[in-house]
C-alpha cells in the first residue's frame, strides 16, 4: 500500500509528511519522558496527546511539502524522469530533513530551559541572532552537534532515496498534475486559515497541552501574533464602567483625580516637603524567589541577599507581571499591567510615554538606563532612549573595567563599576540621579570572572550564575558605601522575572514570585512587608517614598498609601492574563474566556471555583483599561 503511494508523481509529498510526523513523534516522546513527573495523565489524555499531536504534525507537513509539491507540478515528464533530476529532489529533502532534525534538537533544548514549546521567546531569539547564537556557541559543543545533525540528515536521505526515485517512474500530464497540486494546496491553506494553537488545550495540565502541540507550528503562531487585539479576543466591558472601578481601586489619601472619565490621571500632593534622594534600581536577570534561603533554598547561592533582608524593606509576597525581561522592564518603568502579545518595550509606538524616568527627569534628576549587553537587544535602547533615559550599554564601558564577556555582554561587576562612575559624575555636577541597571550574568551560559565565588565559571551552572550576581551586588553596595552620595541614596533590588516560567498550569503563580528589596541604612526603615505586591507597584511606591508631588498616570499602587485589602497582583503569558486578589486567581484568555481558580502559591497547582462577578469585573477593568490607555495615548506625555 505504501509503495503505491510513493509510486506517484506526488509521492515525494507523502514522504515529506512521513518525515515530519516521524521526527515530531520521536521529539514528542522525548519531551513526554522529560516532563513525566509533572504530567497528570489518564489513558484518554495520553491518547489525546498523540492524536492531536499528529493533527498538528500533518498541518506542519503541508507547509514543508510546498516546495516539493511545486517541483513535482512544474517539471514536465521529459525532464522529471531523467536520472539527473533526482539531484534537485535529494537536495530539497536534505534541506527539509536538516531543518526538521535541527528543530527537534532546538525544541528539546528549549523545553529544558522553559518547559514549553516554542513561543514568543523563540521568536525573539531568532531576531537577536548575535546574542543568541553566541550564547548557543558558548553553551554547547556546536561542531559536534552540527556534525551529528548532518550525519543523521544524510542517513535519512539515503534511506528514503529509492522511495523518492519511484515518483520518476510515473507519467502525468500537466492538467492532471495541476489538479493534484491545487488539491494539495488546500491542506496548507486550511492549516493557515482554519487551525489555531488552541486545539491542543485538552487538559488543565499545561504539560499535556504543550506535548499535544508542534514546536514549528507554535513558532509560526507566535511570530504572526506578536500583538493580540484585546477588544477582539478578550471579554470587553463598558469603558466608562471600567474606569470607574479603576479610580475606586487607585484612590489614595494624597490623590485627586482629574475630570476625564476615561483616564486615571490624578494629582499626587503631599503635605510635607519632597525628599531629595538619589535612586539606584537594579533589575536582576532571572532571580526567582526560590533561589533565596529565605524562601527555602538549601544551596546557599544568595548569601548576601539573604543577609540583606533584616536591613532592608523586603517585600515577602512580590510578583512579576510576566516571564520575559522586557515584560519586567515594562512594569518597572511604566507601572502598567501587561497587555496581550508583546511587551510595550518591543512595540513600535512606545515613545514619549509616562515612565518613572520621565517623572524624575522633570524633577531635575539625571536619568540613565545602564545595560551590560547591547541595548539593541529586545529594543531596550530605542524604548528607554525614547522615554527620557540616557541609554548606556557595554559599548560605553571602558575596556579596562571589563573582567569577562559572554554572548550576553560584560560581567556584572563591570556594569556596577561603570554605574558608580555615573553616580559620581552626577554628584560632582550637583545633580540628583536615577540609574536603572539591568544585569546579564545570570543567564546561560552562566559564565563569569573566576575566583569570585566557590563555584567555578567552567561549570556553567545556574547556581554559579546566581551566586556570582549575588557577589557582584554585594561588592557594588560595599563600594557605594564609600561614596559621599551613599547616605542620600536608596537602592532597589528586584528581579525582572523568574528563571522558570512553565508549570503544570497555564499560569503557575509560584513561577512569578520574585524578591524585592529597598535598602538605605539612613533613609529606609527595615521591615518585612507581607502584603501582596505587584511589580507594577514598585514605581509609585518608590516615588511615594521620595514624597514627590506629581501628576500620575500609573496603574500601580503606592503600597504604603493603599488601604489594606485592596492589594492585587498581575501575572501573564503572552495571551493569558491573570489577576490575583484575596487568594483567588482570575484568568482572561483569547476567545473571550474567563476562569476563576484558587491557586496554590507554593506548587502553582490550581482548583476551579465558581465565578464571582465583582472580581471578574475588576479583572476586566484592569486589563481592558490598560489596553485602552496604551492604545488611546493615555500613557503618552504629549497628550
Write out the DSSP string of 57-116: HHHHHHHHTHHHHHHHHHS-HHHHTSGGGHHHHHHHHHHHHHHHHHHHHHHHHHHHHHSS
List alpha helices for 167-320, DSSP H.
174-193, 206-211, 215-224, 230-233, 239-250, 303-308
Residue corresponding to grid cell 525628599: 275
Instruction: Name the nearest CA neighbour of 362 among 432, 282, 283, 270.
Output: 432
What average pLDDT does this structure show over 576-599? Answer: 94
Does 566 score more than 60 pLDDT?
yes
For the chain, domain boundaries: 2-224, 233-268+280-632
Q: Find the mean pLDDT for residues 264-276.
A: 96
| Cα distance between residue 134 and residue 140, in whole Å | 10
Separation between Cα atoms, residue 286 and residue 379, nearest integer Å: 19
Going from the C-alpha of 213 to that of each of 102, 105, 216, 262, 590, the distances in angstroms are 18, 16, 9, 41, 17
What mean pLDDT do residues 255-272 have? 94
pLDDT tens column, 18-72: 999 999 999 999 999 988 888 888 889 899 999 999 999 999 999 999 999 999 9
**Band of residue 3 on the pLDDT scale cut at 50, 70, 90:** low
Per-residue confidence band for 17, with pLDDT thresholds at 50, 70 and 90:
very high
State how far the Cα of 167 lies from the Cα of 462, in Å rounded to an integer.
52
Mean pLDDT across the stretch 513-522?
A: 98
Check: CB of residue 494 under 8 Å from CB of residue 281: yes
User: What mean pLDDT is predicted for residues 314-328?
Assistant: 96
Q: What is the pLDDT, as a whole number, of residue 146? A: 83
454: Cα separation from own chain's centroid: 31
pLDDT in tens, 78-123: 888 888 888 889 999 999 999 999 999 888 888 887 677 877 666 6
Write down the residue that cell numbers 479603576 correspond to.
246
Q: What is the mean pLDDT of residues 433-456?
A: 92
Q: Which of 197-206, 219-228, 368-377, 516-525 has the lowest mean pLDDT?
A: 219-228
Determine the average pLDDT of the residues in 208-228.
Answer: 81
Element (H, E) at 421: helix 412-428
Type and span of the H or E element at 541: helix 538-545
Q: Residue 575: what pLDDT?
A: 83
CA-closest candidate to residue 223, choices 201, 241, 256, 197: 197
Q: How much is the pLDDT for 110?
A: 82
Query: What's the Cα-to-Cα distance from 341 to each of 121, 269, 615, rounded to whole Å?
Result: 12, 35, 23
How high is the pLDDT of residue 129?
56
Share of the chain above pLDDT 70, in %: 95
Question: Is 522:238 a contact under the CB 8 Å cutoff?
Answer: no
User: What was the pLDDT predicted at 79?
Assistant: 83
In Å, how far from its chain's centre is CA 391?
22
Rounded CA gap, 431 and 275, in Å?
Answer: 14
In sequence order, what DSSP letters do the residues of 144-182 get, joined into one string?
A: HHHHHHHHHHHHHHHHHHHHHHHGGG----HHHHHHHHH
Band of the pLDDT at 630, cuts 50, 70, 90? very high
Length, in residues, of the chain: 639
- Residue for cell digits 489524555? 45
Residue 130 has pLDDT above 70, yes or no: no
**Three-class DSSP labels, 429-496:** CCCCEEEEEECCCCCCCCCCCCCCCCCCHHHCCHHHHHHHHHHHHHHHHHHHHCCCCHHHEEEEEEEC
Per-residue pLDDT, 124: 62
pLDDT digits (tens, 9 = 90+) for 240-254: 999 999 999 999 999
Least confident residue range of 9-18, 494-503, 543-552: 494-503
Determine the Cα–Cα distance for residues 159 and 157; give it in Å rounded to an integer. 5
The whole-angstrom separation of Cα 427 and Cα 99 is: 55
- Supply the pLDDT for residue 571: 97
Q: Which fold has domain 233-268+280-632?
A: Alkaline Phosphatase, subunit A (3.40.720)
- pLDDT, averaged across the chain: 91
* pLDDT number for residue 221: 78
Distance in angstroms (rounded) separating the CA atoms of residues 403 and 414: 7
Question: Torsion angle of alpha carbons 204, 210, 211, 217, nearest 10°?
Answer: 140
Could you tell me how many helices (H) and strands (E) the chain has, helices first? Answer: 22, 19
Amino acid at each position: 500500500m505504501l509503495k503505491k503511494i510513493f509510486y506517484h508523481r506526488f509521492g515525494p509529498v507523502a514522504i515529506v509528511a512521513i518525515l515530519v510526523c516521524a521526527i515530531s513523534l520521536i521529539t514528542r516522546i522525548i519531551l513526554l519522558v522529560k516532563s513525566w513527573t509533572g504530567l497528570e495523565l489518564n489513558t484518554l489524555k495520553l491518547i489525546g496527546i498523540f492524536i492531536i499531536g499528529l493533527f498538528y504534525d500533518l498541518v506542519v507537513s503541508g507547509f514543508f511539502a510546498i516546495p516539493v509539491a511545486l517541483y513535482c507540478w512544474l517539471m514536465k515528464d521529459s525532464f522529471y524522469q531523467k536520472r539527473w533530476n533526482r539531484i534537485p529532489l535529494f537536495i530539497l529533502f536534505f534541506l527539509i530533513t536538516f531543518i526538521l532534525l535541527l528543530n527537534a534538537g532546538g525544541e528539546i533544548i528549549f523545553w529544558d530551559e522553559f518547559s514549553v514549546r516554542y513561543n514568543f521567546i523563540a521568536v525573539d531569539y531568532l531576531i537577536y541572532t548575535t546574542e543568541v547564537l553566541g550564547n548557543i556557541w558558548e553553551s554547547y559543543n556546536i561542531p559536534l552537534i552540527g556534525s551529528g545533525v548532518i550525519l543523521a540528515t544524510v542517513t535519512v536521505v539515503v534511506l528514503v532515496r529509492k522511495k523518492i526515485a519511484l515518483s520518476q517512474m510515473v507519467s502525468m500530464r500537466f492538467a492532471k498534475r495541476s489538479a493534484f497540486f491545487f488539491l494539495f494546496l488546500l491542506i496548507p491553506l486550511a492549516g493557515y486559515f482554519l487551525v489555531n494553537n488552541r486545539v491542543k488545550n485538552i487538559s488543565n495540565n499545561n504539560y499535556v497541552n504543550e506535548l499535544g502541540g508542534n514546536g514549528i507550528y507554535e513558532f509560526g503562531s507566535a511570530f504572526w501574533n506578536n500583538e493580540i487585539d484585546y477588544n477582539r479576543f478578550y471579554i470587553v466591558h463598558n469603558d466608562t464602567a471600567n474606569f470607574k472601578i479603576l479610580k475606586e481601586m487607585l484612590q489614595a489619601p494624597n490623590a485627586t483625580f482629574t475630570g476625564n472619565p476615561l483616564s486615571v490621571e490624578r494629582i499626587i500632593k503631599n503635605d510635607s516637603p519632597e525628599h531629595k534622594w538619589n535612586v539606584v534600581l537594579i533589575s536582576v536577570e532571572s532571580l526567582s524567589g526560590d533561589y533565596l534561603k529565605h524562601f527555602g533554598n538549601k544551596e546557599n547561592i544568595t548569601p548576601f541577599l539573604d543577609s540583606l533582608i533584616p536591613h532592608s524593606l523586603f517585600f515577602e509576597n512580590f510578583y512579576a507581571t510576566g516571564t520575559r525581561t522586557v515584560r519586567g522592564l515594562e512594569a518597572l518603568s511604566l507601572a502598567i499591567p501587561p497587555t496581550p502579545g508583546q511587551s510595550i518595550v518591543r512595540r513600535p509606538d512606545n515613545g514619549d510615554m509616562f515612565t518613572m524616568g520621565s517623572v524624575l527627569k522633570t524633577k531635575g534628576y539625571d536619568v540613565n538606563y545602564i545595560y551590560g549587553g547591547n541595548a539593541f537587544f529586545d529594543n531596550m535602547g530605542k524604548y528607554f532612549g525614547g522615554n527620557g533615559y540616557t541609554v548606556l550599554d557595554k559599548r560605553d564601558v571602558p575596556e579596562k573595567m571589563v573582567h569577562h564577556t559572554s554572548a550576553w555582554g560584560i560581567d556584572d561587576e563591570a556594569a556596577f563599576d561603570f554605574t558608580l562612575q555615573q553616580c559620581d559624575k552626577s554628584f560632582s555636577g550637583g545633580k540628583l540621579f536615577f540609574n536603572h541597571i539591568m544585569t546579564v550574568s545570570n543567564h546561560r551560559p552562566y559564565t563569569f570572572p573566576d575566583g569570585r565565588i566557590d563555584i567555578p565559571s567552567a561549570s556553567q551552572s545556574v547556581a554559579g550564575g546566581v551566586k556570582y550576581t549575588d557577589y557582584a551586588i554585594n561588592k557594588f553596595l560595599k563600594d557605594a558605601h564609600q561614596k559621599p552620595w551613599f547616605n542620600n541614596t536608596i537602592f532597589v533590588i528586584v528581579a525582572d522575572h523568574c528563571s522558570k516560567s512553565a508549570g503544570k498550569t497555564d499560569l503557575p503563580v509560584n513561577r512569578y514570585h520574585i524578591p524585592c528589596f529597598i535598602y538605605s541604612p539612613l533613609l529606609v526603615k527595615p521591615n518585612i512587608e507581607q502584603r501582596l505586591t505587584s511589580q507594577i507597584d514598585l514605581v509609585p511606591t518608590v516615588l511615594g517614598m521620595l514624597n514627590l508631588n506629581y501628576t500620575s498616570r500609573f496603574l500601580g499602587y503606592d503600597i504604603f498609601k493603599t488601604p489594606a485589602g485592596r492589594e492585587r497582583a498581575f501575572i501573564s503569558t503572552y495571551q493569558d492574563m491573570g489577576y490575583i486578589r484575596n487568594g483567588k486567581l482570575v484568568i482572561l484568555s483569547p476567545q473571550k474566556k474567563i476562569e476563576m481558580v484558587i491557586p496554590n502559591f507554593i506548587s502553582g497547582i490550581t482548583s476551579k471555583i465558581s465565578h464571582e462577578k465583582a472580581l471578574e469585573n475588576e479583572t476586566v477593568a484592569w486589563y481592558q483599561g490598560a489596553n485602552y490607555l496604551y492604545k488611546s495615548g493615555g500613557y503618552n506625555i504629549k497628550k
